Structures are given as structure tokens and as C-alpha cells.
Copies of this chain bind each other. A is one copy, B any other.
Amino acid sequence: MDRLQIHINVNPEIYLRDPNSSELGRKIVSSGIQLINELGFEKFTFKKLGEQIGSPESTIYRYFENKQTLLVYLISWYWGWIEYKLVFSTANIDSPTLKLAEAIKVLTQPITIGNSFTHINAVLLEQLVIEESVKIYHTKDVDQANSKGYFGIYKRVVQRASEMVLSLNPNFEFPHMLISTVIEGAHQQRHFAKHLPSLTDVKQGKDNIAEFYNQLVFKIIA
């Protein structure tokens, strides 16, 4: 998988100019990931990003309308990447149980290798998603963003995993709630483990988070 030349399709509504279509665009994205991680989204500005990449901020504005849509782009790319992993790694599994178990793994285990085949560092990007992604949903213009299809890939990931839940237990009433709880929960628990450990039960060495959500899924749909 790691040698494959893949391309993640992000909804073109999100950008003004495809950042993947030029060297500068790719620099905006890769340095953007790094700088948002470093400063946090609030302190991150296009001016600072411009300094980092040696371009004026006005140039960055020709790619993204504002820093919020850059964030939406990055997070959307992340979910595209997860969707790809989800489809790829469950494709050849016949048993619905094993299939779902594999899906839960993809959705809850941390990415440990920065993928070598794009300008995007997936480990850093996942860190960014964990710390910042809530900020794209929790705004006054969620509804507008949603109607433009900004969250399309994410919703598709939830839908795919929900279907795996249903194929195991067609009578289960809350597949989408379950999956979105698991996805968001896993990220949140990683954040808590780092900053508010008393809200978790993370022990060093073991990946309790993936284990917990695995148990949770299989016990509730049993």
C-alpha cells in the first residue's frame, strides 16, 4: 500500500485553486499542516504561512478563501485517506465480523508511518485532525459548509462503517450514532490522554483506546 501512487479527491468547492496542481499549492498544504500543528489554529495566520514558504499572504488567498477552508481541505484529505485505507483493508475479508473489526482498527488506531508518496505527512496530519477538527463543525456556518458538501467524505466513511455494522446485525437501531461516537471518541480520547489523562484509562504501552472501542462496538451490537 505504501508504494502505491494514490490521489485523494477533495471536493473542489473547498478550494479556489487546486493546491495539488502546483508546487506552491503543495507547499501551502504541507507547510500549513506543520504550522497549524506548531501554533494551533487560532494563532495560525496566512501571513505567518506566507513567511514560512516565502510568499506573500495574498498569494495564499488565491488558493483558499480563508484559513478555515484550508483547515477543511486538510481534514477532508485526511478522511479521504482513511476511506482509502478502510476500503482497501476490508476489501478481501468475507466474514462480516472480521470486516467490522478491521474497520474499527482503521478508525481507531493511530497512524504511525508518514506516508511516503505524497507531500502530506499523515502522522502530522492526524495530529492536526485530533487537535483541530472540531473547529470545522462547531461554527455558525456549519450548515452552509455542509450544503456545499465540505463534509462529504467524512459522511461517506461513517456510512460505510455503519453498513458493516448493519450487515452483522440488521436490527441494530443506531449504526450511525455508534460509528460517529467511535470515530470522534477515539480521537478525543487521544487528545485527553495527552492533556487531560484523568478523563481516560490510558496506560503506557497498551493501546487501550482501540481496544475499548472494539469492545464497545461488538458488545453493543451483539
Contacts and interface: CB of A to CB of B under 8 A. Distances in A.
Identify whether the interface residues of A are mostly helix, strand, loop, or mixed: helix
A212 B185 CA distance: 15
Interface in A121-159: 131-132, 134-135, 137-140, 142-143, 146, 151, 155, 158-159
Contact of A155 (B137, B189, B198, B208): B198
Given A151-B196, A220-B216, A39 B201 contact: no
A3 interface: no
A138 B134 contact: yes
Interface string A5-21: 00000000000000000
Interface of A: 39-40, 42-43, 131-132, 134-135, 137-140, 142-143, 146, 151, 155, 158-159, 173-178, 180-181, 184-185, 188-189, 191-192, 195-196, 198-202, 208-209, 212, 215-216, 219-220, 222
A138 to B, nearest CB: 6
A97 to B, nearest CB: 17
Contact of A199 (B39, B143, B158, B208): B158
B143 A195 contact: yes
Nearest to A222: B219
Identical chains bound together, number: 2
A134 B222 CA distance: 32
A138 B191 contact: yes
Contacts of A216: 178, 181, 216, 220
A216 B191 CA distance: 22
Can you list the 10 inter-chain pairs with the closest CB atoms, starting with the nearest?
A: A40-B140, A134-B134, A180-B199, A181-B185, A142-B195, A174-B201, A174-B212, A219-B219, A219-B220, A176-B201
Contact of A42 (B139, B178, B192): B139
